Amino acid sequence: RYVLLSRPFCFEPSTPYEVTVRLQRAGVTQRHPGAFILIDSLVLLPRVLELPGFHGAEGAAHREELERYQCLEAFRMAPPSPLAQACARLVCSISALLHGRALPCQCDPQGSRSSECQEQGGQCECKPHVLGRRCDRCAPGSYGFGPLGCSSCACSPEGSVSQLCDAVSGQCRCQPGTVGRQCDECQPGHWGFPACRPCQCNGHTEDCDPRTGSCLRCRDHTTGRHCDRCQDGYYGDPVLGSGQQCRPCPCPGYPGTRQYHGSACHADEETHHIVCLCAPGYAGE
């Protein structure tokens, strides 16, 4: 969109100016913390009809062409649309009046496909996810400006705060409890993205499979999805809160050695004595 100032403003040469844009909510009944506005550029347009080339008898013909082909409206279009031949000729004349010469393209060698640009406006041909007249920066929602252009942020819609990321690293802004460049993983000790929840491993490991929740690298001679059983050759109740731990079965030898002749053991339900399960070829309690 464009806005016409009620009064013209005359800029002085070689004088810096600051333009302040204030965006205010109007008629909004609900707050939207995740809402945002992307501003591509701010362009100041001259009052064309007040330029020297549009005065006098010759200027009248130029003014008539501007009105007939609606050139002023076409100049203000965003994004710009193809100009009529008469408008294209006039915009070159207007540019010459403003700048006193033709301007170099100055296309960025990394972000543009070539060193040539459009005759009207000087827009260079940009690589993927690159913008700017000179193709010198990443488009919003992309990162990593370089010889191949920019890469899409691809932030997870479930795990990230927005679709914007760090322009250099590509790191997205994550929701609490999510991690990863794209915010598409649960933080350590959790699983089940996007509904991340703590691993339940009875205190015998901190890690579990991020997709299934099955505990990884159980310690203390435990095994099972939740590290809730003793390994073969050990007995006890490793469930958190039981007050027990896995201990070697009181069978001859030691688990894992050649002298160990029991494959496992269990507690007798009546006597609570530990009974060994003998390896093939062996017998006894």
Domain borders along the chain are 54-99, 112-175
Entry pTM: 0.59
**pLDDT computed for residue 185 by the predictor:** 95
**pLDDT computed for residue 161 by the predictor:** 93
CATH assignment, 112-175? 2.170.300.10
Least confident residue range of 94-103, 140-149, 216-225 = 94-103
Q: pLDDT, tens digit, for every residue of 199-215? A: 999 999 999 999 999 99
DSSP string, the chain: -----SS--PPPTT------------S--S--TT---------PPP-GGGSGGGSHHHHHHHHHHHHHTTHHHHHT-SS--PPPHHHHHHHHHHHHHHHSSPPP----TTTEEEEEE-TTTT-EEEPTTEETTTT-EEPTTEEEEETTEEEE----TTTEEEEEE-TTT--EEEPTTEESTTS-EEPTTEESTTS-EE---TTS-S-B-TTT--B-S--TTEESTTS-EEPTTEES--STTS----EE-SSSS-TTSTT--EEEEEE-TTT--EEEEEPTT----
**pLDDT computed for residue 2 by the predictor:** 66
